[in-house]
Amino acid sequence: MKEYIIGIDLGGTNLRVAAITRDGEIIQKSESRSEVHRGREEVLGDVLKSVEEIQKSLQPKGWRPVAIGFGVPGLIKEGVVVQSPNFPDWDDFDLKAYLENHWNLPLWIENDANAAALGELWKGAGKESKHFCCLTLGTGVGSGIIVDGRILHGADGMAGEAGHMVVDPEGPPCGCGGYGCLETYASATGLERMSKEALRRGAFRGKLPDNVHELSAEDLHALAKAGDPEARQIFAQMGRYLGIGLANLIQIFNTELIILGGGVADSWEYFIPETEKQIQTRAYKALARRVKIRRALCGGDAGVLGAAYAALQGLRDLEENRRRRDERPWGRWILLDEGTNYKVKRLEVKPGQRLSLQKHQYRAEHWVVVEEGTAQITLDGNQMELHPNEATFIPQGGVHRITNPGSKPVVIIEVQYGTYLGEDDITRLQDDYGRAN
């Protein structure tokens, strides 16, 4: 069967659900109004229904879902919505536990702005980069910071709230409780506030009806487009504070790329010159010179793509962890490091257990006992005891066995050299667990 990942993007306005392949191709998607005012249970009911519809329509065509990624606004800690300004009845809601009751698929929950950044990383303007910041300039300012191809999560998963970085200590109050946050300037709400202040000072006099006390971001855009100097002045002010914020991000993260999305980014030409000027004058020259500022490319699909990519990264981590550790009847091993011609493993042998009597044709091994147990080693018919900090060498073709005769686990660091063929290079001469080859 062909596999897909379900990406969910739940915003204050829209609910988008998409089926996406491991290569990032959207094979089906649905979009509806999120209608947050109806309450959490209703909204989640819509999410469950949309996912079910996609599954139902793809199943007869031979498609099978393998994971779900869910992007949701607010601070997310281990699947719990700690705080969500746009979804007040979601605060402290264990979204992961709720969804796991309904779905039997591995699930990853990500903040919506982080999901947008991941979408741009996977399929958009950040495809060529592993170090960038992605800011969504909408009603507020959402942001996701990509370091080494991964979202920066911080101690609790709540890092990257660049919208609430202080860019003006004497600035206006912000919805977060602070003052002078980037969001109070570089968002649609910020533009409206600045227009209100400008109107109060007597700006736009004679150009607008007297009963206009506030302009929307779209109104301002239209005025700026028509060449209005006062509208352009407001965008320049917005661009100035955006530039201050970006200079901070560039200094802290040595980011090579800034991606700007969201509706306010449509007014690009009116704010970007001032933004670039601030970056060039405030950030280190070496950092400012190399950074590129680009517009987001994924548009409305960024959230579903990024949510699916969060799930894909999670799946890959699980697969990698499984590959790196193995539980065996005698204990377990974990791969610590590997190169083209070596592997380093940590073996833990349970009390009273022994590995099979075996030999390898293509690899030699060094063993060191660490921690407190004592191992009994058999090599080509000879027996010896290996105490903590003692090592021995097992040459290619040497018939060997590790036994733990004690009452505590024995921990051995094993370095394997030569060609590694895994199970294919183990000849078992005797085995307590019935494995024969």
Where on the chain is the footprint of Zn ion (CB under 5 A)? 164, 174, 176, 178, 181
Comparing CA positions, the residue from 296, 290, 294, 287 lying closest to residue 258 is 294
Cα-only R_g, the chain: 29
The secondary structure of 50-87 as a DSSP string is HHHHHHHHHGGGTEEEEEEEEEESSEEETTEEEE-TT-
- Residue 46 structure tokens: 């819509």
- Residue 39 structure tokens: 């309450």
Task: Give the residue with the Cβ less far from Zn ion, 154 or 299.
Answer: 154
Mapping DSSP to helix (H, G, I), strand (E, B) and coil, where does residue 137 land? strand
- Residue 404 structure tokens: 């733990």
Task: Give the residue with the Cβ less far from Zn ion, 164 or 350.
Answer: 164
Task: Give the residue with the Cβ less far from Zn ion, 7 or 73.
Answer: 73
Q: Closest distance between Zn ion and the C-beta of residue 310, in Å? A: 25
Q: Closest distance between Zn ion and the C-beta of residue 178, in Å? A: 4
Contact indicator for 187, 135 with CB cutoff of 8 Å:
no
Q: Closest distance between Zn ion and the C-beta of residue 102, in Å? A: 34
Task: Give the residue with the Cβ less far from Zn ion, 176 or 368.
Answer: 176
> Torsions phi, psi of 243, nearest 5?
-60, -40
Mapping DSSP to helix (H, G, I), strand (E, B) and coil, where does residue 132 land? strand
Task: Give the residue with the Cβ less far from Zn ion, 176 or 357.
Answer: 176
Q: Closest distance between Zn ion and the C-beta of residue 181, in Å? A: 3
Q: Closest distance between Zn ion and the C-beta of residue 142, in Å? A: 12
CA distances from 49 to 11, 71, 277, 342 (A): 17, 17, 48, 50
Q: Closest distance between Zn ion and the C-beta of residue 238, in Å? A: 16
User: What's the gap between Cα 189 and its chain centre?
Assistant: 27
User: What's the gap between Cα 139 and its chain centre?
Assistant: 23
Task: Give the residue with the Cβ less far from Zn ion, 181 or 402.
Answer: 181
